[in-house]
């Protein structure tokens, strides 16, 4: 039975998923003579293969022509047999002049490698274009360096395209015969590239071949996608190495990870995570995804792109084949972003020699932004455009701009005036030509606005970032007003009514109109001077009202509203503060709103609003201090870099208030406590303890004994005392703190569980589990009742209960609770939640207590991956888990691995803090010393113990018990 090589069409998927493209040239061939295969070609060139290789012995089928894959030759034809063919220059088919069977005229082909690189680059850029687009594309790309037409280059590219397309209809080898005609310049299955063994080719990307590989050195079992540069021109090598450098900085579950990279026999390669699945549009269509599910995928993609943008990396080639959807290791279906081969660091000092017109900078019809077409600056807004195209395509099933010709596409993209998605869907539904993914009524309005905002021709008119696009899509999913639409009061009322039909009455509608009226009044200030004072007074009154209501919206407010539905309505109206012509008032309101978002566990919204507030407020003023302190309170819960930024803000606020406020002012006490808390998070326990004690003294002078501020200062001081190993003093302070909180808030307020958990944690850390459990259980119960089961505070209290149960001898119960917490946090906060590594650490501790060591190691590995993805390198969170892995190795009697990991953890802590004289490094070095003793390396252990002791002495009081144990170990070795 004859089989034909399948030609993979354009847009068939990511290079790691595509089937090999069958690119064919043709050659007139003589039959074998005396065991020799002697092809001869018009033009006088010939080649002799002295081996009866199956590929060379394959007889033609129904023609005297042999079809030869183009990837069999680059500049020379090479046989797969051990004895190479004599050098043979390439050939080109000429299309038939009068129909019928194709004539074969074979022309000499350029053998210069750099020229072939250019030919191949142009070919790859245009081979999938429609015939109507091809002529224009070839005219643009087939030019000399000075911009003149290059007819020979065009002729060579056209001949390759003709051969490629002829393969779909002309006779071919049996599949088995054709498969033998592989490129001898690339590894065959079974061959090694570095530590990797090639399994099979899975595609060809814009830069070269992609193989499925497996680990060959026995270090661990893993399959991956190995991407190698097919044509090694110097510019390609530089681009390839830059890609490796860029990819290495990206650690996100939605981005294919770089696993390895190097150079093998002069050819560079990357080894990347192998993402199985389908292009996002194919997956959505094949699985019949509803609109909500399609938009959820867009949110995931925006998360990954936003992460890359935060690290100054732009993708520049976002399209369905670079967004693969499929089941991942944890069983969940996720979108994975692939191929940062055309990414560019947004660093003005990094020069990118690849021009927008060259073949090294791919321009995908339908997805490239107007600035890419015009050769303008590529920014994060470029990716926002491409995300908008993806969104439009997922919503409507079509691209927003025509791609039947390049001119039509370019003109439409520059105008950026696509048909409204709702109109596209309505037309498709009416004509019955296709089944759209949603009803036009569901799309009309908000989704129309979101798509068109992302697809505006001017980059500055689009969403400022992938974060903003994601936020608007999420608002649509949540039934909230979207920022892309004009923020009228009536629009916001309609959105609220759509979510809460039964709850909306005349009073609430009127309230929304009052709040939304801010925009109306402010807009008339410049045009109607005679009404300016009246309008401004109205706006100020509305703003004051919003401030009161938003403060009550926080779950931590003392006079909380009974229904969050009212809070939703007022929160929507509060967005109108942007129309106030008063930056100071705006800064104050944004600070109030930002604090509320922070209290609700919405860090992204809080961060954005508080940064805006700080920009609007005049530096050095109390409004700026308030905004900066609130922003610091958000950042201090983040990663190492955010903690450092928070400490900087807290110091500026503290210094400013020290200069401008009397010692009896509560705001100075606030600033002192904030700085102490930030230093605690940064690991500077000594200074934190001093400042926390001072903040308590300031509050006692400035406020009554049952003040909220005093409760906060007491908690920070108690935690600092515990961190410096002053346990009795810490317990006394925390018990006073809890009494103050109960007196201020009453028993059923979410601030009380915060105090309960601090005291429970202290008791747990002293192994007083029976005393700790009631406090932890009360914290969890109150938090669950007030904040809900999925609030981060509630889940944190649940893990505290689990850790105490582990200590009491119930590890299996703890494992179940923590696994549920991780699932809930992943669902509600996303995989980038900053505290996720801590929960994986707690999971591992419970598993170790249950003697499930293999699963504990897996949990720690997941925690380490999470820490790297969220916090980067170096990071305290990641180093903590490395040290836990070292401890696990020591528990399993693997002292060598333990020593290596303890050393790595200590080094990473030192990189974070700039010195080994810190509490974190000290603990890791202590573990290192013990592992080295087990290995019999006492002198090395002595050095580690001495360095550890220096860290303990710098971080803790002299009587620290661990420091005493280390001194004993040093004495034992020295004696």
Judged by average pLDDT, the poorest of 426-440, 537-551, 659-673, 888-902 is 537-551
Of 240 and 268, the structure prediction assigns the larger pLDDT to: 268
The pLDDT of residue 633 is above 70: yes
Looking at residue 37, what is its pLDDT?
31
Coil, strand or helix at 209: strand
Kindly report the length of the chain: 975
Looking at residue 84, what is its pLDDT?
29
Looking at residue 10, what is its pLDDT?
32
Q: For 758-765, what is the mean pLDDT?
A: 93
Of 653 and 958, the structure prediction assigns the larger pLDDT to: 653
DSSP state of 40: B
267 in the same domain as 120: no
Look up residue 752 and give its two tokens: 């009380």
751 in the same domain as 732: no
Q: How far is the C-alpha of 382 from the C-alpha of 951, rounded, in Å? A: 48
727 in the same domain as 750: no
Number of domains the chain contains: 7
Mean pLDDT score of the chain = 72
628 in the same domain as 528: yes
For residue 782, is it within any domain?
Answer: yes
Host domain of residue 345: 278-478
The pLDDT of residue 423 is above 90: no
299 in the same domain as 447: yes
For residue 9, is it within any domain?
Answer: no
The pLDDT of residue 914 is above 70: yes
Q: Is this prediction's pTM over 0.85? A: no
The CATH number given to whatever domain includes residue 366 is: 1.10.510.10
For residue 961, is it within any domain?
Answer: yes
Of 386 and 263, the structure prediction assigns the larger pLDDT to: 386
Looking at residue 256, what is its pLDDT?
85
For residue 319, is it within any domain?
Answer: yes
**Paired residues of 327 in beta bridges:** 333
- Beta strand residue intervals within 331-405, DSSP E: 333-337, 344-345
98 in the same domain as 62: yes
For residue 537, is it within any domain?
Answer: yes
Determine the straight-line distance between the first and last CA of the chain, rounded to whole angstroms: 84
Phi and psi based region of residue 445 (left: phi greater than 0; alpha: psi -120 to 50; beta: remaining)? left
The pLDDT of residue 111 is above 50: no
375 in the same domain as 288: yes
Looking at residue 355, what is its pLDDT?
29
464 in the same domain as 499: no
**DSSP-assigned states of every residue in 433-461:** SS--SS-HHHHTTHHHHHHHHHT-SSGGG
532 in the same domain as 469: no
Looking at residue 165, what is its pLDDT?
65
Buried b (16+ CB within 10 A) or exposed e, 500-538: beeebeeebbebbebbbbbbbbbeebeeeeeeeeebbeb
299 in the same domain as 409: yes
**Paired residues of 208 in beta bridges:** 229
The pLDDT of residue 492 is above 50: no
The CATH number given to whatever domain includes residue 795 is: 1.25.40.10
DSSP state of 788: -
611 in the same domain as 649: no
Contact, 55 vs 177, CB < 8 A? yes
The CATH number given to whatever domain includes residue 245 is: 3.30.200.20
Q: For 429-455, what is the mean pLDDT?
A: 74
For residue 867, is it within any domain?
Answer: no
For residue 17, is it within any domain?
Answer: no
Contact, 853 vs 894, CB < 8 A? no
Q: How far is the C-alpha of 305 from the C-alpha of 336, rounded, in Å? A: 10
For residue 246, is it within any domain?
Answer: yes
608 in the same domain as 662: no
Looking at residue 415, what is its pLDDT?
65
């Amino acid at each position: 039975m004859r089989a034909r090589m399948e030609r993979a069409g354009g847009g068939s998927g990511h290079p790691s998923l595509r089937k090999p493209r069958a690119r064919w040239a043709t050659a007139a061939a003589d039959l074998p003579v005396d065991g020799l295969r002697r092809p001869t070609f018009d033009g006088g060139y010939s080649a002799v293969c002295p081996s009866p290789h199956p590929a060379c012995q394959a007889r033609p089928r129904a023609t005297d022509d042999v079809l030869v894959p183009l990837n069999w030759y680059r500049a020379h034809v090479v046989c797969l047999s051990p004895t190479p063919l004599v050098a043979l220059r390439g050939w080109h088919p000429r299309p038939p002049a009068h129909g019928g069977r194709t004539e074969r005229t074979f022309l000499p082909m350029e053998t210069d490698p750099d020229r072939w690189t250019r030919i191949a680059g142009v070919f790859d850029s245009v081979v999938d274009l429609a015939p109507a687009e091809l002529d224009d594309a070839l005219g643009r790309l087939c030019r000399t360096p000075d911009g003149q037409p290059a007819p020979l280059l065009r002729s060579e590219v056209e001949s390759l395209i003709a051969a490629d397309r002829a393969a779909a209809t002309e006779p071919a080898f049996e599949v088995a015969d054709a498969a033998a005609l592989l490129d001898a310049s690339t590894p065959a299955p079974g061959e090694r590239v570095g530590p990797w063994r090639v399994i099979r080719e899975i595609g060809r990307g814009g830069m070269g071949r992609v193989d499925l590989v497996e680990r060959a050195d026995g270090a661990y079992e893993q399959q991956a996608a190995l991407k190698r540069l097919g044509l090694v021109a110097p510019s390609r090598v530089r681009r390839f190495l830059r890609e490796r450098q860029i990819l290495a900085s990206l650690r996100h579950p939605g981005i294919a990870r770089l696993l390895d990279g190097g150079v093998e026999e002069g050819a560079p390669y990357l080894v990347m995570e192998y993402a199985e699945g389908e292009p996002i549009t194919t997956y959505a269509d094949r699985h019949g995804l509803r609109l909500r599910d399609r938009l959820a995928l867009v949110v995931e993609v925006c998360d990954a792109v936003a992460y890359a943008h935060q690290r100054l990396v732009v993708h520049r080639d976002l399209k369905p084949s670079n967004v693969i959807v499929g089941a991942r290791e944890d069983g969940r279906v996720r979108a994975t972003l692939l191929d940062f081969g055309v990414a560019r660091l947004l660093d003005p000092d990094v020069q990118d020699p690849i021009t927008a017109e060259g073949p090294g900078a791919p321009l995908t019809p339908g997805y490239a932004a107007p600035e890419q077409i015009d050769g303008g600056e590529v920014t994060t807004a470029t990716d926002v455009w491409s995300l908008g195209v993806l969104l439009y395509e997922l919503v409507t099933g079509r691209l927003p701009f025509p791609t039947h010709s390049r001119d039509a596409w370019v003109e439409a993209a520059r105008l950026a005036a696509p048909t409204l998605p709702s109109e596209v869907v309505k037309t498709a539904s009416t004509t019955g030509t296709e089944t759209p993914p949603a009803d036009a009524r569901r799309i009309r309005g908000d989704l129309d606005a979101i798509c068109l905002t992302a697809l505006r021709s001017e980059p500055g008119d689009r969403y400022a970032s992938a974060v903003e696009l994601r936020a608007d899509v999420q608002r649509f999913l949540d039934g909230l007003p979207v920022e892309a639409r004009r923020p009228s009061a009536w629009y916001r009322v309609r959105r609220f009514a759509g979510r809460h039909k039964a709850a909306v009455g005349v009073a609430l509608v009127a309230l929304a109109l009052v709040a939304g009226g801010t925009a109306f009044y402010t807009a008339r200030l410049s045009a109607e001077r005679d009404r300016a004072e009246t309008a401004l007074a109205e706006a100020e009154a509305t703003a004051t009202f919003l401030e009161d209501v938003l403060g009550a919206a926080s779950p931590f407010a003392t006079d909380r509203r009974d229904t969050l539905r009212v809070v939703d309505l007022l929160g929507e109206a509060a967005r109108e503060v942007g129309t106030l012509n008063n930056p100071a008032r705006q800064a104050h309101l944004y600070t109030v709103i930002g604090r509320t978002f922070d209290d609700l566990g919405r860090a992204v919204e809080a961060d954005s609003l508080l940064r805006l507030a700080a920009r609007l407020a005049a530096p050095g003023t109390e409004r700026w201090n308030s905004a900066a302190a609130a922003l610091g309170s958000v950042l201090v819960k983040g990663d190492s870099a955010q903690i450092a930024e928070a400490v900087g803000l807290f110091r500026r606020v503290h210094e400013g208030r020290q200069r401008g406020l009397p010692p009896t002012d509560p705001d100075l006490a606030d600033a002192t406590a904030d700085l102490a808390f930030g230093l605690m998070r940064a690991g500077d326990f000594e200074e934190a303890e001093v400042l926390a004690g001072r903040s308590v003294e300031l509050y006692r002078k400035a406020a009554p004994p049952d003040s909220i501020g005093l409760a906060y200062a007491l908690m920070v001081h108690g935690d600092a005392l515990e961190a410096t190993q002053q346990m009795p003093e810490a317990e006394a302070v925390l018990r006073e703190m809890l009494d103050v909180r109960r007196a201020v808030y009453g028993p059923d307020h979410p601030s009380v569980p915060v105090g309960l958990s601090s005291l429970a944690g202290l008791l747990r850390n002293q192994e007083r589990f029976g005393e700790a459990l009631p406090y932890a259980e009360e914290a969890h119960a109150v938090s669950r009742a007030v904040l809900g089961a999925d609030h981060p505070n509630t889940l944190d209290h649940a893990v505290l209960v689990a850790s105490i149960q582990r200590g009491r001898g119930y590890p299996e119960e703890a494992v179940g609770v923590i696994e549920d917490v991780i699932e809930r946090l992943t669902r509600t906060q996303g995989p980038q939640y900053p505290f996720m590594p801590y929960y994986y650490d707690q999971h591992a501790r419970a598993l170790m207590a249950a003697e499930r060591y293999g699963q504990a190691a897996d949990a720690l590995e997941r925690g380490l991956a999470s820490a790297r993805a969220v916090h980067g390198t170096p990071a305290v969170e990641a180093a903590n888990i490395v040290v836990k892995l070292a401890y696990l190795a020591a528990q399993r009697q693997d002292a060598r691995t333990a020593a290596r990991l303890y050393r790595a953890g200590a080094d990473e802590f030192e990189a974070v803090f700039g010195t080994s004289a810190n509490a974190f490094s000290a603990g890791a070095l202590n573990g290192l010393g013990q592992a080295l003793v087990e290995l019999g390396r006492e002198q090395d252990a002595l050095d580690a113990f001495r360095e550890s002791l220096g860290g303990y002495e710098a971080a803790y009081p002299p009587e620290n018990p661990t420091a005493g144990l280390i001194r004993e170990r040093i004495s034992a070795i020295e004696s």
